[in-house]
Structure formats: structure tokens, C-alpha cells
Chains A and B, each alone.
Chain A
Amino acid sequence: MGKTIAEKILSTKSGRDVKANDIVVAELDFIMGQDGTSPLAIQAFQEMQARRVFDPARIAMVIDHSAPSPLEGVSELHRQMRSFAGEQGICFYDIGDGVCHQLLPEQGHVVPGDLVIGADSHTCTYGAINVFSTGVGSTDLAAGLISGKLWFKVPETFKFVLNGQLPAGVYSKDLILHLIGDVTADGATYMAAEYVGEAIAGLSVEARFTISNMAIEMGAKAGLMDADQKTLDWVKEHSTKSFTPVKADADAVYARVKEYDVSRLEPQVARPHTVDNVAPIGEVAGTPIQQGVIGTCTNGRMEDLRIAASILKGRKVKSRLIVAPSSRQVMLQAIREGLIEIFLESGAAVVTPGCGPCVGTHNGVPSDGENVISTANRNFKGRMGNNRAFIYLGSPATVAASVIKGEISDPREYLR
């Protein structure tokens, strides 16, 4: 019987021929922790009475969630991370280097066919380059740091067949919001998502990261795609590691299959306070907006900044706008291309590469009753630090169009 991508990767890494629902202990290719989860993992590592990590070359720690530190308590946790990473010889990304999910693929740490864990729920992002990557908590992270292994239940797979090409002004963010709205926030719980079809083939690798990033918002464990020529070219540009891409068999068994035609899709917006509360732009256009956010691990890449800048160029924002490029490299490239100048001239505040205001620790906490539109992946009540604010999610184009008008707006009005 044929196998899915998830079954193939977990078979290879566990050295057994496994299928969905089997439980395996598998070898990890790479392990990541960020500043919200690593301090607890370091504590667990010490409680587990370990002395050395299994292989410092296969571990990265990233300070991105509260970077630079806004508080004494956070500074102390950051200090613990720096000290642990230094002692153990772990690859370390400090404040300003960027968001973990941008850095791991960008810096070439993860390649197709890999099995990767990260102590951050959006670790599923690397599925876009054919990596089985999944989010774990701090104690699983500690166990991985010590043993280089983790136990997994091999997931069943939910296959999304995406036909057609996205129309102008409609992006991969709109596509994934539409899928989550359709299958709901727990529609793929315990499963791996596999995204296939001409709509995926038509997207850049950067745009595909946005789709895999949000697999967790439908409950999925991973958000997997094939490695096509675009993927192989992108990976070779960023990494010198050798790799073996993995493709699902034609007769693989899926728990669910859903087909979509994306050719008539409109821009989508997730309304407060759940990610699956999705509507086409027409239903929410006109909602007043006090703050916009462009960035985060979902949509802070070069392509996103270029799209936003093309709309903001020569225009002034009516709402506050915060732009957080996803990495130092992205920030530098955006400076070279003149995009940062466009943002600043439009009235935006450009902040340190990293998670920005997404998780509510710093850098743009809204006030009571305010509406925010963000390119992030979550709009939970209180997510950005104030439970009396209202968070909407949209594409970088939708956010740019909305802050210009001061209300949720259709970005297709700005197509040039």
C-alpha cells in the first residue's frame, strides 16, 4: 500500500516501515527553541540530569518573541538562553536576527525530507519545503536536545487539492484563511495536511511558507508540500546540505481529501476572535481600523514587503502601521530596494526584525476597543496584549490597503 509524505519521512527516520497511527521513536535532523519556550526547556534539561546536548550542530536557539527585551524578567530569561547556548556550542540567533521560522530555512538549517521539531507551534512552516516539521513544548524540546530523538504518532493525512490559479490581488494568505474557514480550527487535528495542485505549483516558495505556517490553525501537526523545481532551486540557494525530497505515492491512503478551485477566490479576512471566523473582504470592508501590522512568521518576507510597499508607495496611512521584517537579511534587502523608505514615508513605524506585536509582549499593544488588522496567524482575544481589542487577519496587500483608508479595504482597488 502506498504512503503519504508523513508516513515516508517517519519510516525513514525511525528505521521502520510505518503507517498512520503507528507510534515511533524517530531521529531528528534539526531542533529549534525560541525565547518563550527555551528557558523552560533548559530547566527541564537540567532536571533530567543531562550534561551535554546530543549534537550542537543540529540545534538552534532564537530570541525573537520579546526582542529586544521590554522587561527585566525577560532579560533574565534571555541571559539564561545565551549562557546555555554558549556553554553547549549551539547556533544562536540574538535580538534583531529575525523570526525563528524565517531563519531556519533562510540560513539553510532545514532541507527537504528532514524531520524537525521546534518549540513553537508554527514550526509546521517548513513543510512548504518538504520538511516534516512540527511544534512541541519545552519538555519534548529538552528530550530532543538530550537524545536527538522524539516519539511520534504517525499522523493520518488530510489532502487539499488546490486547482486553478489565484486571481490578481489574492494571495496565499487568502487561500489558507479560506481553507481554515472551511474546515474550521480543529478540522485537521492530529493529522498532517498535504497541499497539492496547480495553485500551489503557481506560487513562489515564499508564498508557500504562509500556507504551511498556518496548518496548525486547523489543528494539523504538519503542513506538507512536494519539492518541485522551485523548491529545489530555493533550497540550493540557501543551504549546502545534501537532501532527499519525499513524494507521496499515487496510491497513498488519505483520511480526507478536499478539492478547491481557487480561480474565483476573493481576498479573505479572519474576524475576531477565532482564525476560522473567515469572510470574503466584501463582508467586512468599511470596518474602522486603528492599527495595522505587517510582518510575523506568516507574512514578513521580501515578497510580502514588496506587495505592501507597492500599495503604500506615495501614499500616507490613516491608521497606525507597524512593519516588522522577518529577518535581518530581509530588513537589509528591503533597505537596498527602497522599501523601508516607502514604509517610513507612508507614516509606518518599522521595528526590529522578529515577532513584533503578534504575541502581545511588546512593540504595539492596542488600547481598549481598538481594531487591528494584521498579517499574523492568530486573532485570539488578548493575543496582542489587550483582551479588549479586536484583531482581524488579512494578506499584506489587504493590511496595506486598509491602513491607507483607515478601514478594512479591498486591495484590488490598488492593483497597478
Chain B
Amino acid sequence: MDLKGQVHKFGDDVNTDYIISGRHKFKTLDMKELAKYVMEDLDPEFYNKVKAGDFIVAGSNFGCGSSREQAPLAIINANISAVVAKSFARIFYRNCINTGLPLIECDTEQIDEGDELEVDLQKGVLYNRSKGIEIAITPLPDVMLKILSDGGLVEHFKKYGTFNFD
């Protein structure tokens, strides 16, 4: 999977209420509709600025807070290709893998707003094209790679009817 796009940069501790606020998520299961409010409390213009394939880049503890899966689904439906952060909160991390949103854990200090990134998930490398540098990424555990490569946990279960990591 080769991903390319521009950076939208955020800080540390971006929580699930910022990703999609509780005041929207209870209304509907239409994720295209929820996507319009993604990151609204941090940047009201975010949804309108994003071009398909762009990246969210953040500091540590991205996705802390609620177990709401509307958070990764809203990001996917805003056409973001991946979230890049120094670290992720664990429930959000699992929810992303289960719903098929790639997460990239790496040092994000050398990535700035507007930079052009390219990621090769197979090789496990992130290129910052604007800065001309390569950044090493922490590989995903095998179980997570298996779920992602099956296309998420729904597809995994459709294929096997249960968990199958052999």
C-alpha cells in the first residue's frame, strides 16, 4: 500500500471527542455525514481543507478517550489516508486496525503542516518529500497486519467466521 498526501498537523493528546464530538456521534450511523464534523473542535475548517489522501500528523497519545469507533470511521470518511503520530491510545489503535485505517507510529518532530508525505507500508518507510528525509516507522504486530491485510475485522470474520491468526 503506497500512500501520498499533505500533512495536517496537530499536537499531543488529541482525544476522541476532538476527532468526533459526542454531540454529533449519537445522531446517526451515516459516517459520510459524521465526517463533516471531524476535528471540528480543534479546527472548524478541517473537513473543507482536506484533499483525498492527506495525512493527519500528531504528537503523542493520539485517540485517547472514548471507545467510539465513529472516530476512525469519521477520519476514513473524510478521505484521510493514514494517521501518523508519536504514540496512540490503545482502544483507538485497535479500532483503526479493525476498521482498516492505517496508523503510523514514528517520531513526528520533523513533519510540519503542509509537508508532502509518502508512505510505503510494505517496506515500513515514511518519506517526507518536502524535507527530503526518510523516517523509520514502528512495525505493527503480526496479528494487526493480518487484520489490516484482510481489510479489517469484518472482512476477517467473513472469511473465517472467527479469529484465525495461523
Is A174's CB within 8 Å of the partner chain B?
A: no
| B73 closest partner in A (C-beta) | A40
Q: Are B158 and A73 closer than 8 Å at their CB atoms?
A: no
Residue from the list A135, A139, A221 in contact with B153, Cβ < 8 A: A139
Q: Are B158 and A381 closer than 8 Å at their CB atoms?
A: no
Q: Are B29 and A43 closer than 8 Å at their CB atoms?
A: yes
User: Known contacts A73-B26, A139-B154, A381-B41: does B61 contact A189 (CB below 8 Å)?
Assistant: yes
Q: Which residues of chain B from 4 to 56 have a CB within 8 Å of any chain A CB?
A: 13, 15, 17-18, 21-23, 25-29, 41
Is B125's CB within 8 Å of the partner chain A?
A: no
Q: Are B69 and A37 closer than 8 Å at their CB atoms?
A: yes
Most A Cβ at <10 Å: residue of B17, B22, B98 = B22
Can you offer 11 A-B residue contacts whose CB atoms are under 8 A?
A37-B68, A139-B98, A140-B94, A140-B95, A143-B163, A146-B162, A186-B61, A361-B22, A361-B26, A382-B17, A383-B17
Q: Are A49 and B152 closer than 8 Å at their CB atoms?
A: no
How far apart are the CA atoms of A142 and B94 in the complex, in Å? 14
How far apart are the CA atoms of A359 and B21 in the complex, in Å? 9
Q: Are B94 and A136 closer than 8 Å at their CB atoms?
A: yes
Say how far A212's CB is from chain B's closest CB, in angstroms: 16
Residue from the list A47, A49, A121, A387 in contact with B65, Cβ < 8 A: A121
Q: Are A381 and B17 closer than 8 Å at their CB atoms?
A: yes
Say how far B57's CB is from chain A's closest CB, in angstroms: 17
Sort A-B residue pairs by CB-CB distance and give the 10 closest, nearest first: A137-B95, A73-B27, A186-B61, A137-B69, A139-B98, A48-B157, A360-B22, A387-B41, A138-B69, A359-B22
Say how far B145's CB is from chain A's closest CB, in angstroms: 12
Interface membership of chain A positions 326-370, coded 1 if the CB is closer than 8 angstroms to chain B and 0 otherwise: 000000000000000000000000000000000111000100000
Q: Are B68 and A36 closer than 8 Å at their CB atoms?
A: yes
Is A214's CB within 8 Å of the partner chain B?
A: no
Q: Are A382 and B87 closer than 8 Å at their CB atoms?
A: no
User: Known contacts A36-B25, A121-B66, A219-B61: does B141 contact A139 (CB below 8 Å)?
Assistant: no
In the complex, which residues of chain A have a beta carbon less than 8 angstroms from the beta carbon of B73? 40
Q: Are B29 and A221 closer than 8 Å at their CB atoms?
A: no
How far apart are the CA atoms of A71 and B26 in the complex, in Å? 9
Q: Are B153 and A185 closer than 8 Å at their CB atoms?
A: no
Q: Are A360 and B21 closer than 8 Å at their CB atoms?
A: yes
Interface membership of chain A positions 1-38, coded 1 if the CB is closer than 8 angstroms to chain B and 0 otherwise: 00000000000000000000001010000000001110
Is A159's CB within 8 Å of the partner chain B?
A: no
In the complex, which residues of chain A have a beta carbon less than 8 angstroms from the beta carbon of B15? 378, 380
Say how far B9's CB is from chain A's closest CB, in angstroms: 18
Q: Are B67 and A37 closer than 8 Å at their CB atoms?
A: yes
User: Known contacts A136-B94, A137-B98, A219-B89: does B162 contact A40 (CB below 8 Å)?
Assistant: no
In the complex, which residues of chain A have a beta carbon less than 8 angstroms from the beta carbon of B142? 23
Residue from the list A66, A119, A147 in contact with B67, Cβ < 8 A: A119
Q: Are B143 and A151 closer than 8 Å at their CB atoms?
A: yes
Is B81's CB within 8 Å of the partner chain A?
A: no
Q: Are B162 and A149 closer than 8 Å at their CB atoms?
A: yes
Q: Which residues of chain B from 73 to 128 have a CB within 8 Å of any chain A CB?
A: 73, 87, 89-91, 94-95, 98-99
Is A325's CB within 8 Å of the partner chain B?
A: no
How far apart are the CA atoms of A43 and B70 in the complex, in Å? 13
Say how far B71's CB is from chain A's closest CB, in angstroms: 9
| B153 closest partner in A (C-beta) | A139
Q: Which residues of chain B from 151 to 166 have a CB within 8 Å of any chain A CB?
A: 152-154, 157-158, 161-163, 165
Say how far B118's CB is from chain A's closest CB, in angstroms: 28
Q: Are A136 and B158 closer than 8 Å at their CB atoms?
A: no
In the complex, which residues of chain A have a beta carbon less than 8 angstroms from the beta carbon of B60? 186
How far apart are the CA atoms of A381 and B65 in the complex, in Å? 12
Is B64's CB within 8 Å of the partner chain A?
A: yes
Q: Are B18 and A186 closer than 8 Å at their CB atoms?
A: no
Interface membership of chain A positions 131-159, coded 1 if the CB is closer than 8 angstroms to chain B and 0 otherwise: 00001111110110011011101000000
Is A98's CB within 8 Å of the partner chain B?
A: no
Extra contacts besides A119-B67, A151-B143 (16): CB < 8 Å: A36-B25, A36-B68, A39-B29, A40-B69, A40-B70, A73-B27, A135-B91, A137-B91, A137-B99, A143-B153, A147-B163, A189-B90, A360-B22, A378-B65, A382-B18, A385-B21
